[in-house]
Amino acid sequence: MKINKKVIFIVLILSIMTSQVHAKLSQPDFVLYGTATWFGEPLANNSEISIFIESQLLTVAIYSMGSDDSLGGLYALRVPMDDVDPRKHGNARPGDPASVFINGNLVAEVLVGNYGTAERLDLDPLNLAASSGVLNILPGEKLEGNSGTSLLSMQITLSEVSDEVVTVDWRTQQTSPTSALEGDACTGDFDYVNKNGVATIAAQSLSTTIEVEICGDTLIESSETFEVFLSNPNNAIIQFPIGTATILDDDGLPELRGNDMVVFEPASGTLTQGFVLTLSRTFEQDISFDYTTAAGTATEGADYTQTAGNKIITAGQQQVTIPVDFLSDAVVEGIEVIKLQISNVNNAQLITPTLTGFIMDANREQQTKDPVEVDNSVVPELVSPSDVAISNNNRHVYVSSLDGNGSLLHFSFSSGVLNFLSVVNNTTVGFETASFKLIRQIVLSPNGKYLYAAASGNNTVSVFGIDSITGELTFITNFIEAVAGEFGLQEVYGLAISDDGLHLYAAGSASDTITAFSIDDMTGLLTLLETEKNGVNDSNDSGVTVAFMDRPINLKVSPDGKNVYVVADNSSALNVFNRDISTGKLNYMSSFKSGIGGVTDLGAAADLVVSADGAQVYALGRADDAVVVFNRNNADGVLTFNTTLTKANPDFIGLNSPSAIITNPSDDRAYVLGFDDSTMVSFTRDNVTTSIGYGDLEFADLEQDEVGGVTKMNGPTSLAITSDGSWLIVAAGIDNALVVFKTHIPEPILVLFADGFE
């Protein structure tokens, strides 16, 4: 059969004409635009605005908040339109009823406008009909019990009464993998039974209650949470769809512990100072206890006023203070002791039944005072500070942060005042390739030109330049260990620079190594010299096999440059290396390990310092709450174990889990941080070479978080002292803060002359 070519041609023409008719009759979009808020609050970016056409039973337009910068924070819904019959599915026409939603929640009922027009509609759930009440679900809590089940109740509220019945769907959901566990029944480790339903609020009522079955147990644990979600409301709007339910643990009581304290006897009259008691966590019930003072070596009525009573820590609170009046006297005397006894504790486990107050004589000099604090409420970038360093001219302070991928903060410093200037990290121009992750220690070169950072998270020593006038940092280079074992920088933790500025030493905590570098004074660049490794005998020197250097975390070069001393955490040891002053290379000499050869209290060795006169090395035993004293022979750097200072010593206070130690430039003071009890302990040091107690430390003073005006020193990690010894700066890792203390040494008076000469 032959097909007529003319027929085919006519069909094609008609087809083209039909498509042209449709094209001519299609209509421009209707646009709905405006602001979008949720009960008056701005919507987060990516919140979804959508419009549903009732006649099409279809969502025809969606806008994601913030996706179009040209809208200036407004939303815009472009509704496709046509006037061709039959209507194309998904297109609207003027007058079509439509519903507008924010994140799936109905917020407006509208009619579609004319072709090619734009109408403004500011969206908010409150803009719906006034008769629509607002639904919320209130938090709920319940003691879990020791066995069986009980019901935890939660109230669903309506903002105003309705003439109609209001309903809303609800369901339980586990908050996180570590929160209360959801199950189908109270079996195994499940904490509550998953449930869903429909809650009904009767007409002219304002609330209803839902109940969830929770499971009793005798396991000691923190209180746990789960969530209840609301959805699909009828005759009302949901404002906040999530309510938190808390299962209160009634098996494990919080711990109650108190802090010892130092009191400086008033020169005259009476001084009131308080013992602070703290719970290990907040508790859902009131906690009460009795207290009374008792004489130690102090005398009631002469040194203090006796006090006794009962205290309550109300539910949800975590701390209480017991005030005691201390009295002046004219007697020159040593340290006196007062005790505070705690008893009859309800709803808590008492850890410290006896607290000690050390009364220092009025003529005894206070070592540190006048704390000035800066935290991340003032400097948001100051999060998890790990180390602090002060420039040689005392005008600049640098702080390393462990937050995120890490950063370095720069402050100016003058007469105890810190002024935040800048922060650099991998988002800062010029620092994109620098290593900042988990910086454990920062050190400044003696010439003040360079800053070196131990970035343990990057297995890197990073090198930064310092502007001699502004103190600003510039990135120079990374010395990175890309291949494990290549340079001995696995999780590099500690750094030390020789006083001559020629050599830098790094402790690789994960590779059990000490790596030596030479420093180019003109560029700050590092050149690898050698690596000393635990369990290895370096064939290139005369030393023996390195021993007891498992996880080295800190090290110091002796002031005379003859030795490098290293503390090893896992070995609980102090390692001694000889140093070639000209080449900078090391030669392993010996180790002092806790529990061997009479050495004690060096458990989990944490930090060390060499006295400026080179006569002593002081090391910290973190696990033993101790300062361990070694005498040093200045001729050859050989150490001998001397003694330890611990809580077992009389007249000793603070120093729980000591984390850092320094001495002052005049070599007559030492300062030690206690991480667990948030303390800074000051010691006087006998620096008289002819004295029988040469090098001995004596407890002198204490600063503690939440005592005596100090409020931001929780979790102290490091400290630094100005070159004149007049100011101390402590970095507090838990409080995200820096605390500046004035020492006993007066700040030098700077006298300026108009002509620049005296």
Question: What pLDDT sits at residue 451?
Answer: 98
Return the pLDDT at 5: 45
Dihedral (Cα; 85, 88, 91, 94), 10-degree rounding = 0
Helix, strand, coil percentages in the chain from 3-state DSSP, rounded to 5: 5, 50, 45
Percent of the chain at pLDDT exceeding 90: 62
- Contact residues for 10 (Cβ-Cβ < 8 A; gap 6+): none
At 334 the pLDDT is: 77
Q: Between β-strands 336-346 and 242-248, what pairing exists: parallel, antiparallel or unpaired?
A: unpaired
**Residue position matching structure tokens 């969530």:** 227
Contact assessment for residue 521 and residue 447, using Cβ atoms and an 8 Å cutoff:
yes
Output the six-digit token pair for 360: 């220092």
Instruction: Choose the most confident range, by mean pLDDT, from 362-376, 499-513, 704-718.
Output: 499-513
Strands (E), 425-459: 439-444, 450-455
> Residue 621 above 90 pLDDT?
yes
Query: What does the angle CA 626 – CA 628 – CA 632 come to, to the nearest 5 degrees?
Result: 165
491 touches 480 (CB < 8 A): no
Taking residues 106-131, report their average pLDDT: 83
Assess whether pLDDT exceeds 80 at residue 215.
yes
Residue 415 has pLDDT above 50, yes or no: yes
Burial grade of 501 (CB within 10 A; 0-12, 13-18, 19 or more): middle
In this model, does residue 758 exceed pLDDT 80? no
In whole angstroms, what is the distance from residue 62 CA to residue 228 CA? 28
Amino acid at 542: S
User: Hey, is 164 helix, strand or coil?
Assistant: coil
Q: DSSP string of 93-150?
A: -TT-EEEEEETTEEEEEEE---TT-EEE--B-GGGS-TT-EEEEE--EEEE--SSSEE
> Which domains are seen in the chain, by residue range?
23-127 (2.60.40), 133-248 (2.60.40.2030), 268-360 (2.60.40.2030), 375-480+719-758 (no CATH)
Average pLDDT, rounded, for the chain: 89
Phi, psi of 396 (to 5 degrees): -135, 145
User: In terms of Cα–Cα distance, which of 480, 396, 493 is closest to 439?
Assistant: 493
Residue 651's pLDDT band (cuts 50, 70, 90): low
Question: Please, which residues have CB within 8 angstroms of residue 752's CB and are 6 or more apart in sequence?
Answer: none
Distances, alpha carbon 148 to alpha carbons 186, 219, 668, in Å: 8, 14, 65
CB 156 within 8 A of CB 230: yes
Query: What DSSP assignment string belongs to 488-514?
Result: S-TTEEEEEE-TTSSEEEEEETTTTEE
Q: Is the peptide bond before 42 cis (omega within 30 degrees of 0)?
A: no
pLDDT of residue 577: 97
What pTM was estimated for this model as a whole?
0.65
Helices then strands (H, E): number in the chain? 1, 57
d(CA 226, CA 154): 12
pLDDT tens-digit readout, 702-747: 898 877 789 999 999 999 999 999 999 999 999 999 999 999 888 7
Answer yes or no: are the C-beta atoms of 315 and 346 closer than 8 Å: no
Residue 6 has pLDDT above 70, yes or no: no
Q: Average of pLDDT values for 330-348?
A: 88
Residue labelled with tokens 């008609």: 14
CA 460 to chain centre: 23
Cα–chain center distance at 39 = 33
Give the residue, 250 or 82, on which the prediction is more confident: 82
pLDDT tops 60 at residue 11: no
